[in-house]
Amino acid sequence: MVTLSAEETQAAACRLAALLLPGDLILLYGDLGAGKTTFTQGFGDGLGVNARVTSPTFTLIQEYAGGRLPLYHFDLYRLAGHDEVFDLGFFDYLERGGVAVVEWPDRLENFVPNERLEVRIESKGEDERRITLVGIGGRYEALVAAVEIEAGPC
């Protein structure tokens, strides 16, 4: 889909959030400023978490409670090396019954889990973004086949 504002991207993420289940994993691909954190904000709104998602400067993981499901927001930009992902407890979070959303998932290198929903955000201009969903693994393939994240309110 194509969005023409940050609010449209948030609304798309907000609608997607309604479809997710405990343990789901979403990897957000896109350059700096593409809209990964903006997408995660809409996602938090959709889950109903009790704080606005922000772009963490120093923390690699921020947990948001109070919603339909817990949200684990990872920003791996500053991950020193892929070993650090174990220190962070990344794989433990995936077992804790929430939804994990990951910015800069390329930092995971060959530890990217086999089953995941990939969201690819490409900047097409100042406010235009192309958002592509790719489901990898049975559950996520079915999810992407069923979901239509066309523009619209959440």
The per-residue DSSP string of 96-146 comes to TTSEEEEESGGGGGGG--SSEEEEEEEE-SSS-EEEEEEEESHHHHHHHHH
Packed helices 36-47 and 6-17: angle between N→C axes, nearest 10 degrees = 40
Which amino acid does the sequence have at 25?
L
Interacting partner of 3 out of ligand ADP, Mg ion, none (Cβ under 5 to 8 A depending on kind): ligand ADP
Is 1 a binder of ligand ADP (CB under 6 A)? no
Question: Is 103 within 8 Å of 37 (Cβ atoms)?
Answer: yes
CB of 138 to Mg ion, least distance (A): 29
CB of 62 to Mg ion, least distance (A): 11
**How many whole angstroms separate alpha carbon 6 and alpha carbon 58?**
24
Is 36 a binder of ligand ADP (CB under 6 A)? yes
Site for ligand ADP in 63-102 (CB under 6 A): none
Q: Which is nearer to ligand ADP, 120 or 139 (CB)?
A: 120
Site for ligand ADP in 97-126 (CB under 6 A): 103
Q: Which of 11, 13, 26, 38 binds ligand ADP (CB under 6 A)?
A: 38
